[in-house]
Amino acid sequence: MRLPLALSLIASTALPLSALAGPDQSPPVPDAAVDLRTREGTTLVSAHWRFADAAIVDAVNRAPTLDLSPTGATVKTHDIAPRIGTPEFDNAQWTELDAATLEQRRTNGKLAFGWYRLDVTIPERVNQLGVAGMTAILEIAVDDYAEVWVDGSLPQVLGTSGGPLIKGWNSPNRVTLTTNARPGQKIQIAVFASNGPLSAPPSNYVWIRSATLDFYAPGRAMTNPPKPVEATVQRMDPAIDGIVPKAARFEKLADAFAFTEGPIWVPALPAGASYGGGGTGGYLLFSDPNKNVIHRYDPGTGEVSIYRTKSGYTDGGPGAGPNIGEYHQPGSNGLTLDFKGRLTICEHGNRRVTRLEPNGTITVLADRSGGKRLNSPNDLVYRSDGVLYFTDPPFGLPKVFDDPHKELATSGVFCLRDGTLSVVSTDLKGPNGLAFSPDEKYLYVDNWDEKKKVIVRYDVAKDGSLSNGRDFVDLTSSLQGELCFDGLKVDTHGNVYVASPDGLRIYDETGKHLGTIVLPEIPANFTFGDADGQSLYICARTGLYRVHLEVPGIHPAVNPTALIAATPDLARERSARSR
């Protein structure tokens, strides 16, 4: 979207991300806890500790080829032995440990590593409190760093700190073992412990400072729980009740951002599939174009992390200059997924559409049209056959339409099909949000232009071309002021949702206004998410909101088989283990 300069200046004074959960970022006090450093505690959960030294060993790998994948010539490198997931790990020389001895120093110090193993069984009760249905969290503090594997898995998501991965200097790792504890449930835990700092190995050793199994009643384990907010639904037609229930509960999930935009839900994947550097899904990504970052929201913990920094602006490219201070919204805007689950990004400052590959590299999908640089791609959507559409107004440029670096004479809707980029519409001065009808016969595009506040519906041809554009909604005379339409989505029933200055408007497929959701802040963009696709995640200025609807939304189709094929490291590991 185009953020007015006055709002941009206000947004730049927002609180830092550290204020998201208030001044106290510490985890909540558990309803029950088991001290795993005691014999009584380990007996309660039928657990026993084991330890084995780990070492750096010589290994071979493949050098990177032109696509940066490890498929080139054989090269010498190093590995960790024993390595989890291999027969050598299970057959290692494990030493049985008394839980009361976890503070004893192990390894020989300096550059030292070790594995702790712990198998636990969920008990029926802890301190007379029944734990069925509760959330069980392992909190462990290792001197000096730790990585925690649960049932042979170590989720890896960009920007993650803590949880299963290294948290910090002697900082506790908090790993959710289950959100629905079942008495008798068995869980295998492996903790890789490292002496540190790695760059200057000290003379001390590896040991465990603390280890507990914490139990929380449903909803209590979140570090930053959702907060109920007052919102109204203007019900213009009875049909709105079948979309937004009268008992709908609106929540604020996080706040204190500069400006929220471009959300996309990354669905949880079945076992064996991975998003590469994006883990296994079940989270929300959204942009803060003012701060030049992509955030990740974890609905399980309520925590927000930075998924990608410099998300839309590095140096601006040839002729643009390095001065990021000129930009009001230099970062990424619209986000979506292709059928392989790869994140596709509208980069304002870099003036291009890119794709984030599983190996962490960036593929530029579009940055020029007819030899001229794009304006600042704003929002995007994939057709089910992989054809990509995106809008390209100049709202990301420092001086917008009057920016001296602007090269294209018009703002367009673009289509990328089989590697060929074509402009399929120049009807609108400020094309912004866009979405397909459920049958993909129509493409809806809204316009950020105070002189023409419309949503246009186009017929879509198989070759990607658009035709017969006609106004689906026209609010030019009724919506006053500079603010216009922004993000746009469609649900599986064909209802059209659009962010507007007076709230999130919902229309049926004929253009009838069914109702408007009015939040404490003006919405910018939104997406459907969660397992059932019925949670509407709304980016509204400085906050992130959620409401559960009666109708699921249209979401990018992700193919798990394609994901495995797109992750060379995962495929290679599986092949090696099968031999």
Residue 388 has pLDDT above 70, yes or no: yes
Helix (H) or strand (E) run with residue 565 in it: helix 560-565
Q: Which residue has the higher pLDDT, 237 or 159?
A: 237
The pLDDT confidence band at residue 317, using thresholds 50, 70 and 90, is low
Cα–Cα distance, 334 to 446 (Å, whole number): 14
Q: What was the pLDDT predicted at 481? A: 83
Q: What was the pLDDT predicted at 9? A: 35
Average pLDDT for the chain: 89
Q: Which residue has the higher pLDDT, 560 or 81?
A: 81
The pLDDT confidence band at residue 562, using thresholds 50, 70 and 90, is low
3-state per-residue secondary structure call for 279-292: CCCCEEEEEECCCC
Q: Which residue has the higher pLDDT, 318 or 153?
A: 153
Residues 6+ positions from 324 with CB-CB distance below 8 Å: 292, 313, 316, 330, 349
- Tokens, residue 140: 């462990």
Q: What was the pLDDT predicted at 272? A: 64
Q: Where in the chain is CATH 2.120.10.30?
A: 5-18+224-565
Burial string for 450-476 (b: 16+ CB within 10 Å, else e) reads: eebbbbbbbebeeebebeebeebbebe
Residue 289 has pLDDT above 90, yes or no: yes
Residue 423 has pLDDT above 60, yes or no: yes
Q: Where in the chain is CATH 2.60.120.260?
A: 32-221
Q: In what order do the strands lie in the sheet with 352-356?
A: 332-337, 343-347, 352-356, 362-366
Q: What is the mean pLDDT of residues 533-560?
A: 94
Residue 371 has pLDDT above 70, yes or no: yes
**What would the DSSP string read from start to end of 295-320?**
EEE-TTT--EEEEEES-S-SS--TTT
- Tokens, residue 124: 């029926």
Cα–Cα distance, 514 to 330 (Å, whole number): 35
Residues 15-62 pLDDT 10s: 334 334 343 467 889 999 999 999 999 999 999 999 999 999 999 999
| 51 and 116 Cβ atoms separated by less than 8 Å | yes
Q: Which residue has the higher pLDDT, 60 or 269?
A: 60
Q: What was the pLDDT predicted at 286? A: 98
3-state per-residue secondary structure call for 514-546: EEEEECCCCCCEEEEECCCCCEEEEEECCEEEE
Residue 299 has pLDDT above 70, yes or no: yes
Indicate the residue type of 111: L
Q: What is the mean pLDDT of residues 189-199?
A: 95
Cα–Cα distance, 127 to 282 (Å, whole number): 33
Please state which architecture CATH assigns to domain 5-18+224-565. Answer: 6 Propeller (2.120)
Q: What is the mean pLDDT of residues 524-540?
A: 97
Burial string for 294-313 (b: 16+ CB within 10 Å, else e) reads: bbbbbbebbbbbbbbebbbb
Residues 133-162 pLDDT 10s: 999 999 999 999 999 999 998 887 887 777
pTM tops 0.85, yes or no: yes
| 479 and 501 Cβ atoms separated by less than 8 Å | yes
Residue 344 has pLDDT above 90, yes or no: yes
Q: Which fold has domain 32-221?
A: Jelly Rolls (2.60.120)
Output the CA torsion sign for 262, 407, 411, 368.
Answer: negative
Q: What is the mean pLDDT of residues 289-302?
A: 93
Q: Which residue from 231, 253, 227, 260 is spatially nearest to 11, judged by alpha carbons?
A: 260
Cα–Cα distance, 215 to 179 (Å, whole number): 10
| 172 and 210 Cβ atoms separated by less than 8 Å | yes
Residues 493-510 pLDDT 10s: 999 999 999 999 999 999
Residues 6+ positions from 188 with CB-CB distance below 8 Å: 117, 119, 150, 151, 152
Q: Which residue has the higher pLDDT, 392 or 273?
A: 392
Cα–Cα distance, 489 to 265 (Å, whole number): 13
Burial string for 67-92 (b: 16+ CB within 10 Å, else e) reads: eebeeeeeeeeeeebbebbeeebeeb
Q: Which residue has the tokens 């002496």?
A: 195
- Tokens, residue 165: 């991965």
Q: What was the pLDDT predicted at 300? A: 87
| 212 and 107 Cβ atoms separated by less than 8 Å | no
Q: What was the pLDDT predicted at 12? A: 35
User: What percent of the chain is modeled with pLDDT above 70?
Assistant: 89
Q: What was the pLDDT predicted at 576? A: 30
Residues 432-460 pLDDT 10s: 999 999 999 999 999 999 999 999 999 99
- C-alpha distances in Å from residue 196, one per residue of 170, 261, 303, 366, 535: 9, 39, 27, 44, 43
Cα–Cα distance, 398 to 148 (Å, whole number): 45
Q: What was the pLDDT predicted at 271? A: 67
- C-alpha distances in Å from residue 309, one per residue of 15, 23, 285, 336: 18, 24, 13, 17
Q: What was the pLDDT predicted at 275? A: 73
Q: What was the pLDDT predicted at 8? A: 41
Cα–Cα distance, 34 to 51 (Å, whole number): 20
| 428 and 379 Cβ atoms separated by less than 8 Å | no
The pLDDT confidence band at residue 126, using thresholds 50, 70 and 90, is very high
Q: Which residue has the higher pLDDT, 15 or 71?
A: 71
Helix (H) or strand (E) run with residue 173 in it: strand 173-178
Cα–Cα distance, 380 to 435 (Å, whole number): 8
Residue 487 has pLDDT above 60, yes or no: yes
